[in-house]
Amino acid sequence: MRKNPGVTLLELIISLCIFSMIFLGFASIQSFSRYSFLAAKRRAVVQNEVTVVLEHLTKSITGTNYSGGAIGNTMNFPIHLTTIDTLNGIAIWIDTGNGLDNTHTPDGKLETDGPYPDGQVEYVYDPGTHQILFYSGATPEYITTGHIVADKDHLKDGPDTHFYFNENINYLDVKITGRWDPSNLVVSKDNPEVVMYSRIKMPGVSSN
């Protein structure tokens, strides 16, 4: 008489172990993929915020934003440190006439009257909200969303300005540091950091 084939307890245990290993492998791959996607997304957000600051500042200085750009010379340098409501940053004299009024050339002196008087814009850093504010009037415009870091190591011209400039030359060196959680000093995949440098030329400023 022939016995019916069956599954022994040992075979069942081995099968369950193999199935569990396969399941755990798929779960690990899925978890790693989600973690990598989240880390990449956070880094992209921080990088975009830092880029926005540099692009906004570049447009104001070079004259591709809403004005003719920074105006002056080494005797009337357009950039200086400023403090607005205890927040530190820089102020930039700009040609608000956008080239329509050329009375400031060729000596580069600032014009305070006439149909197109030169104006001033400011960029200040708020360490409380980790944002950079832009002033073109009395009301500030927040150009970031809260990922900018006050990096003390590179602040050469005052606290929390993020900007370095030399009045003997016609450019502005900028270093902006962004971090997903600015209050957390530990940089990791969960808390990515992005550092960008830029040297912004000022075509409307004479270095003579």
Q: What's the whole-number average pLDDT of the chain? A: 75
Average pLDDT over residues 2-29: 67
Q: Which two tokens stand for residue 30?
A: 């899925």
Q: Is the pLDDT of residue 28 over 50?
A: yes
74-126, pLDDT tens digit by residue? 777 888 888 888 888 888 888 766 544 444 443 444 555 555 567 788 998 88
Q: What angle do CA 93, 97, 101 make, to 5 degrees?
A: 110
The model's pTM is 0.72
Whole-number pLDDT of residue 78: 84
- Check: CB of residue 178 under 8 Å from CB of residue 146: no
- Radius of gyration of the chain from Cα atoms? 28
At 196 the three-state DSSP class reads: strand
Domain boundaries along the sequence of the chain: 36-206
139-159, pLDDT tens digit by residue? 888 888 888 887 654 444 444
Q: Is the pLDDT of residue 180 over 90?
A: yes
For 100-126, give one letter per residue: b (16+ CB within 10 A) or e: ebeebeeebebbeeeebebbebbbbbb
Higher pLDDT, 123 or 10: 123
Distances (CA, A) of 133 to 80, 121, 130, 144: 16, 11, 10, 8
- Check: CB of residue 69 under 8 Å from CB of residue 204: yes
